[in-house]
Amino acid sequence: MSNPTAPTAMADDRPGPGRVVRVNGPLVEIEGLDQVAVLDVVEVGHNSLAAEVVSVRQGLLTAQVYEYTGGLRVGDPALGQGHPLSARFGPDLLGGIFDGLLRPLTGQPLWLSAGALRQTGTRRQWPFAPAVSTGTVVAPGNLLGMVPTPSGVDHRVLVPPGTAGPVDWVAGDGEVDDDEPIASIGGSPVAISEQWPVRAPRPVRARLELSAPLLTGQRVVDLLFPIAKGATAAVPGGFGTGKTVLLQQLVKWCEADVVVFVGCGERGNELADALADLSKLDDPRTGRSLLERTVVIANTSNMPVMAREASIHTGMTVAEFYRDMGYDTVLLADSTSRWAEALREFSSRSGELPAEEGYPAGLASALAAFYERAGRVTTLGGEEGSVTAIGAVSPPGGDMAEPVTAHTERFVRCLWSLDRDLAYARHYPAVTWRRSFSRDAQSVGAWHASEGRPAWARDRARAVALLAEADRLAPMVELVGLASLPGRERVTLLAGRLLREAVLQQSAQSVNDGHCTPAKQEALLELVLALYDRFLALVDQGHPASAVEEIDTSGVVRIRDEVGPDDAAGVERRRDEMLAALENWK
């Protein structure tokens, strides 16, 4: 390819080499690197381990190393890279599995073999179709061309932030190389992959109000605690309460164009199983493997602890990168507590004065900065895109007052709190209606109304009231016995149980029940509410509550699993049959 503006090899003017003077786990002290700033990357040791400078004192740098530091010695060289922690974002991301620094993990665990930070992906050729011609004047965010991918999520090559002017040259239709320029704009070469410092939010033109929900196919979320596209949610839950299963259900079923899953400090075999699962699932939009529009960033518990810290930012930047192309993206992080532990480990090694429970004083602002990057935006190019951020939180001992959980709750718009008692009773997903909340419920209700579902908000309000009333009555039954309660209250208890078992419980393993369209969700909820009304009418007519309680409702609980995931009509048919049978009930 003729390429008049190809960058020539950069003269090596990187600062250094300095010299390692102390190694303490992932913390390394370096002497003799004067030109290096805080947050710059340095490569340490003979294996060029990636590290980030966290503090600078006269003549001495402290850096956190993102790789295993075994074998690193005093006297080993350290070379400044002259830029902050960055990764390269390109068309090889979709369907890929990467480490916390966005280096591909294929076959063997690559994190063991150290390497340069810039070495993302293997050199590959991509089909490129230009969207501009020579002379077109472009600004940041404008479309330069497309790289079609099989996933249906085409890679849009955009003018990077900070570059503008007339197109001097653009590649023609055909195969292009990963890091060769495909255009030159105002004298600057642009490639299909873009380098970006992962801690810096990518710029946008405007932030927009949230309105449409991110449908997840999970009833307790979509019906009771909905999340808007561009919002944030946390899933706190004690050990084994179902955080990972819920997040994986979201990877599979949430209605996003691109899903970024960050496995952060959790079990590696779980992630491997989830990936195997995902590769078997078909994307309903393309009929191809769902993995093709998923980006997985793996920093499991067996991998270097500091890379967990980077993985959250790397994942967020991947999500922003696709948002800028005009896509709705979702970032899922399992678990943000392990990320916070990495912060704590480093701060305790560096001798920083600890704040609550040993976490660094900056914990709250670090969490806020992470969730703050979510949002629905107008991109620099004038498209609309979103990043929805959802993080699992693993409070030690289930203590919801511990710092990571408590701070996270302040910053998120939705809380899906998992309850140990519900999980113990095998009520899955164990999202409790007592501690969970959604600040998006009102706007999502308005959206449903505009989509022809005006009943959504009313039904939700009735469901919330029914759950609360059933919860209020349950301890009274313990105290005074069911027989002493008035008939209407006994029927409320019965309907509360039906609501929990027939609507809110949802089996992740079931083909029919694993996900659920909004129409089937609403049909199931309306079925329970219709039965509730009918039962109330029966006791009002003078039928004894004990007789109503004996009506066989076992079929109600099975419907969710017996009709297909989008078969609302099937649910309505069953409802009509049941209500008709109750008409003739004596």
Ligand X SMILES: Nc1ncnc2c1ncn2[C@@H]1O[C@H](COP(=O)(O)OP(=O)(O)OP(=O)(O)O)[C@@H](O)[C@H]1O
Contacting residues toward Mg ion, per CB under 5 A:
243-244
Token pair of 47, please?
A: 């294996």
DSSP string, 19-80: EEEEEETTEEEEES-TT--TTEEEEETTTTEEEEEEEEETTEEEEEESS--TT--TT-EEEE
Nearer to ligand X, 226 or 236 (CB): 236
Calpha distance 388→327 (Å, rounded): 11
Residue 535 within binding range of ligand X, rule CB under 6 A: no
Nearer to Mg ion, 184 or 244 (CB): 244
- In whole angstroms, how close is the CB of 223 to Mg ion at the nearest point? 24
- In whole angstroms, how close is the CB of 516 to ligand X at the nearest point? 12
| 340-399 binders of ligand X (CB under 6 A) | 394
Residue 241 within binding range of ligand X, rule CB under 6 A: yes
Residue from 50, 221, 245, 254 touching ligand X (CB under 6 A): that is: 245
The SS3 call for residue 376 is strand
Token pair of 487, please?
A: 């008939």
Calpha distance 517→255 (Å, rounded): 11
| 179-198 binders of ligand X (CB under 6 A) | none
Residue from 237, 315, 360, 496 touching ligand X (CB under 6 A): that is: 237
Nearer to ligand X, 509 or 554 (CB): 509
Nearer to ligand X, 508 or 579 (CB): 508
429, interface contact from Mg ion, ligand X, none, CB < 5-8 Å by kind: ligand X
- In whole angstroms, how close is the CB of 238 to Mg ion at the nearest point? 11
Choose the stretch contacting ligand X; rule: CB under 6 A; options: 243-251, 311-319, 339-347, 348-356: 243-251
- In whole angstroms, how close is the CB of 67 to ligand X at the nearest point? 25
Nearer to ligand X, 301 or 348 (CB): 301
| 257-276 binders of ligand X (CB under 6 A) | 266
According to DSSP, the β-strands at 258-264 and 328-334 are parallel
- In whole angstroms, how close is the CB of 247 to Mg ion at the nearest point? 8
Choose the stretch contacting ligand X; rule: CB under 6 A; options: 64-72, 176-184, 300-308, 507-515: 507-515
Residue from 15, 45, 226, 242 touching ligand X (CB under 6 A): that is: 242
The site that binds ligand X (CB under 6 A) totals a number of residues, namely: 15
Calpha distance 407→364 (Å, rounded): 6
Token pair of 71, please?
A: 């074998």
Q: Report the amino acid identity of residue 373.
A: R
Nearer to ligand X, 514 or 518 (CB): 514
Residue from 509, 541, 554, 584 touching ligand X (CB under 6 A): that is: 509
Burial class of 328 by CB neighbour count within 10 A (0 to 12, 13 to 18, 19+): buried
Residue 243 within binding range of ligand X, rule CB under 6 A: yes
Nearer to ligand X, 438 or 506 (CB): 506
Nearer to ligand X, 149 or 337 (CB): 337
- In whole angstroms, how close is the CB of 222 to ligand X at the nearest point? 14
Nearer to Mg ion, 41 or 274 (CB): 274
- In whole angstroms, how close is the CB of 405 to ligand X at the nearest point? 13
Choose the stretch contacting ligand X; rule: CB under 6 A; options: 38-46, 170-178, 242-250, 455-463: 242-250
Residue from 369, 473, 508, 519 touching ligand X (CB under 6 A): that is: 508
Residue 336 within binding range of ligand X, rule CB under 6 A: no
- In whole angstroms, how close is the CB of 429 to ligand X at the nearest point? 4
Residue 236 within binding range of ligand X, rule CB under 6 A: no
According to DSSP, the β-strands at 97-98 and 40-44 are unpaired
Q: Which residue is nearest to Mg ion (CB)?
A: 244
Token pair of 348, please?
A: 């305790």
Calpha distance 426→428 (Å, rounded): 6
Alpha carbon 130 to chain centroid, angstroms: 32
- In whole angstroms, how close is the CB of 465 to ligand X at the nearest point? 25
Nearer to ligand X, 2 or 509 (CB): 509
Residue 300 within binding range of ligand X, rule CB under 6 A: no
CA distances from 394 to 13, 132, 402 (A): 45, 48, 10
Question: Is residue 323 within 8 Å of 380, Cβ to Cβ?
Answer: no
Dihedral angle over CA of 83, 84, 87, 88, nearest 10: -40
Token pair of 345, please?
A: 């480990």
Q: 501-504: list long-range contacts, CB under 8 Å, 24+ apart.
A: 501/427, 501/557, 502/527, 502/528, 502/556, 502/557, 502/559, 502/560, 503/219, 503/223, 503/463, 503/528, 503/560, 504/219, 504/220, 504/224, 504/427, 504/431, 504/433
Calpha distance 393→241 (Å, rounded): 11
- In whole angstroms, how close is the CB of 369 to ligand X at the nearest point? 25
- In whole angstroms, how close is the CB of 397 to ligand X at the nearest point? 11
Provide the greatest CA pair distance for the chain: 91
Choose the stretch contacting ligand X; rule: CB under 6 A; options: 77-85, 99-107, 358-366, 501-509: 501-509
Residue ranges with strand state E in 97-200: 97-98, 125-130, 137-138, 143-147, 155-158, 165-170, 174-177, 181-185, 188-191, 194-197
Calpha distance 178→96 (Å, rounded): 15
Residue from 322, 428, 447, 535 touching ligand X (CB under 6 A): that is: 428
The SS3 call for residue 166 is strand
Residue 240 within binding range of ligand X, rule CB under 6 A: yes
CA distances from 501 to 388, 477, 480, 512 (A): 29, 19, 25, 16
Burial class of 104 by CB neighbour count within 10 A (0 to 12, 13 to 18, 19+): middle
Half-sphere exposure of 403 (CA within 13 A, CB side): 20
Residue from 81, 232, 244, 417 touching ligand X (CB under 6 A): that is: 244
Q: Which helix (H) or strand (E) holds 494?
A: helix 487-498
Nearer to Mg ion, 235 or 559 (CB): 235
- In whole angstroms, how close is the CB of 449 to ligand X at the nearest point? 29
Nearer to ligand X, 545 or 559 (CB): 559
- In whole angstroms, how close is the CB of 516 to Mg ion at the nearest point? 23
Token pair of 463, please?
A: 């469901």
Choose the stretch contacting ligand X; rule: CB under 6 A; options: 116-124, 233-241, 457-465, 569-577: 233-241
Q: Which residues bind ligand X (CB under 6 A)?
A: 237, 239-245, 266, 394, 428-429, 507-509
